Amino acid sequence: MRNLALVMTLLSVATSSLDAQRARARDLGVTPGVFAPGANNAITDVAGVRVGHVTVTEGAGVRTGVTAIIPHDGNAYLERVPAAIWVGNGFGKLIGSSQANELGELETPILLTCTLCVWKAADAMVEWLLQQPGMERVRSINPIVGETNDAQLNDIRSRPITPAHVREALEGATTGAVAEGSVGAGHGTVAFGWKGGIGTSSRVLPKSLGGYTVGVLVQSNFGGVLQVMGAPVGQELGQYAFKDALSRDGGDGSIMMVVATDAPLSDRNLKRLASRAMMGLGRTGSSASNGSGDYVIAFSTAREVRRGFHATRLTTTELANEEMSGVFEAVVEGTEEAIYNSLFQATTVTGNGRTVEAIPLDRMRAVLKRYGRAPQ
């Protein structure tokens, strides 16, 4: 009996160690799609794109943060990139969306944060931008700030985000590997009943399809019936929307999806690209429930389509419609994998009087193996 107890203890320790380490989807044999990822398998594989996080933890209640996505190394206001926003379900607050869609461009970095902090974050970014060189005569700025509601783990009513947090996220943004899981704007989020967070992924098209890179970053905070590579993980693990027929839990929540590409796309084709990200979301088991704010922000960094602020005419060279199918496939695959990474990298978080557990990777892998979706 003592030997059996020792074996059980060792197995428990090994399992806890696996889940404590966490892992990206590819580390677990989860490789959605047919295209290969970039060097970092992140949105930063699109040259020039930078990401910065500030994770805010205060006392027993505050569990939130800010994530900044910067489209290129220059001044985003003076050297604008074409962009489009797709609304899968509009139960959310995406500041700046109407002008971005009207003009088809971004003129600021993108910020993600918690629901009641979007206005504070927008104000802080505007203040920061006005202080940048070349902005002395600027009289109007359209900040892009998205959110998800992290009130389950975060004392959201305290609205804890400050200008210092926003400035740190913007000025600390870097290329290369991107931190995922319970960091930045994903610190207090929940997805499919488990801990959600920040996730990212990328795809590089083969040379025959243009060799373009598509990168995706998500802030996952939504519900549904989790599927991983088609395997019914949520049902097998006993945690999913509508589990109780008498329950009104329909998987509400939200997700922000940011898509970057170096393919030279017009804002019209960027809107088409953004709409395909919803297909990647659907593959994971979301049904875009009534209370879910599901938004996609897509932009192109290609110099052939950038827009100078002072230009009186624009001459651009954009990818033809007939060349878009590979880019569409890339964003579907990248979005799906970014969501998995947000879940698999997230750690258990306690805040605001509640604990939300990270998805148990050992049990999840066992489900994938039973359904032939992971290496044996």
Domain assignment present for 18: no
Domain assignment present for 14: no
Q: What's the average model confidence in pLDDT over 219-242? A: 94
Distance CA 223, CA 192 (A): 4
For the chain, how many structural domains are there in total? Answer: 1
Partners of 57 in the beta sheet? 63
Catalytic residue positions, numbered: 254, 292, 294
Residue 15 confidence (pLDDT): 39
Range of the domain at 304: 33-370
Give the contacts of 369 (CB within 8 A, at least 6 positions apart).
Answer: 375, 376
- 3-class SS at 168? helix
Residue 304 confidence (pLDDT): 94
Query: Contact at 8 Å (CB) between 261 and 44?
Result: no
Q: Which CATH number characterizes residue 108's domain? A: 3.60.70.12
Tell me what percent of the residues of the chain surpass a pLDDT of 90: 86
pLDDT in tens, 107-145: 999 999 999 999 999 999 999 999 999 999 999 999 999
Residue 250 confidence (pLDDT): 57
Distance CA 157, CA 144 (A): 22
Q: How would residue 265 be classed by pLDDT, with cut points 50, 70 and 90?
A: very high
Max Cα distance, the chain (Å): 83
Domain assignment present for 7: no
Domain assignment present for 15: no
Query: Contact at 8 Å (CB) between 41 and 201?
Result: yes
Residue 135 confidence (pLDDT): 97
Domain assignment present for 245: yes
Q: CB-hemisphere CA count at 13 Å for 87?
A: 14
Q: How would residue 1 be classed by pLDDT, with cut points 50, 70 and 90?
A: very low
Domain assignment present for 27: no
Domain assignment present for 11: no
User: DSSP state, 136?
Assistant: T
